[in-house]
Amino acid sequence: MAGLKVFISSTCYDLGIVRSQLRAFLNVTGYEPVMSDYNDILYDPREHTHTSCINEVANCDMLILLIGSRFGGKGVPEAINKIDIDSLMNESKSIESLIKLENLSITQLEVLKAIEQSIPIYTFIDQKVYHDHEFYEKNKSNKDIISRIHFPSIEKQETAEYIFNFINFVRLRTKGNNIFQFNKIQDVEEILKKQWSSYFQRLLNEQRYLEKEARQYESLSQQFEDLKAAILTTIGTSNEKEVARGVVRFRKLVDFLVGIQVSDFSYIKQTKDNWDMILIVAGINKVLDLSKLNNDTHRILRARTILLKEDETFYEVRFHSDFIYDLSLDWDSFIKLSTENRNTIIDTLLEMYNGSTFVKYHNIQIEQWLNTDHDKLIIKDFRAG
């Protein structure tokens, strides 16, 4: 089984000890470090070594960037041409490093290649360098002052601007802009352990969610197929379009009628009674819009509409009363259909019903359901209004 390939990008001389310790850490973890100073890179004799490094990045799964006191060697034009600079212009809010390509180091080019390839990057900056970078940021607008400042963490002062600007590019990326400071290799190891563990945990959770979502999609797909089959077997060709539209339009209406426990659907198929009478037949004598209550009570009750029955038990609906009004309009349209089409639509939707509903019945009187006297008073006042 192939191990995860991790490219270590940094200058070698100032960070040699950190690189070697990081290599040992990756090996123990079971990952495969890819490092230029350990001959892990294929150096194609037809290309410059910089180009070979750039090409190797694309073969890796992850990149760890270490920024220390040195800038390193400037990338050769051949290596720079391997990077799609235009595609990187929108990757960060700070693109000073991309303006003068000749001032990019080979390490920076490796990072740019990783970004271009959407390879995850973990950036670690020497603590002293990071502090100098913060000082640079506060004073860079004053050219006279910044030109006289000596940054003790930077080995060659003429490269300080290039290093700091690239830090800005990385930390101001639109995504993947994580920055970690380190003082010793143990800092890097501890951070990587936590990051990788948390990332793996998230991927597992996402996988479970995707599997659940896939099952739901499969279930919906099967329901649509069943619906199609049911329509084709129950309708005549002359009414096909009207019935098909009706099955889609009146699905929520039928789900609602099932939810309020309408038992006699032969009545629903035949009657011309208005919507208010349908609610009365279902034993509902009042519709309470809880969204009109104060916000605190609304949050406690959770429901948005209560359908109160004669015996003071009730149905809970998680929609505003406007939704009930829309259903009444659907009912007005439904009863205008021919009896044949009404029968077909009802039979099809009842056959497709999967047991889920947006209406919840509470077999308890509403006064007992409420938790506090304050809430009871509000409901009483609201019902009386």
| CA dist., res. 272 & res. 260, Å (int) | 19
Residue intervals in the chain for CATH 3.40.50: 5-183
- The pLDDT, as a whole number, for residue 111 is 96
Helix (H, G, I), strand (E, B) or coil at 359: strand
Maximum mean pLDDT: which of 60-69, 249-258, 334-343: 60-69
User: Pick the residue with more confidence: 379 or 338?
Assistant: 338
Select 5-183's CATH number: 3.40.50, 2.60.40, 1.10.10, 1.10.8.
3.40.50
Mean pLDDT score, 136-152: 90
Contact (Cβ atoms closer than 8 angstroms) between residue 145 and residue 139:
yes
Q: What is the pTM of this model?
A: 0.59
Average pLDDT, the chain: 86
Strands 314-317 and 305-309: antiparallel
**Where residue 320 falls among pLDDT bands split at 50, 70, 90?**
confident
Mean pLDDT score, 98-117: 95
**Where residue 374 falls among pLDDT bands split at 50, 70, 90?**
very low
Percent of the chain with pLDDT over 90: 56
User: Pick the residue with more confidence: 269 or 298?
Assistant: 269
**Where residue 246 falls among pLDDT bands split at 50, 70, 90?**
confident
Q: Computed over its alpha carbons, how large is the radius of gyration of the chain?
A: 34
| CA dist., res. 4 & res. 122, Å (int) | 15
Which residue has tokens 């490093």? 97
| CA dist., res. 264 & res. 258, Å (int) | 10
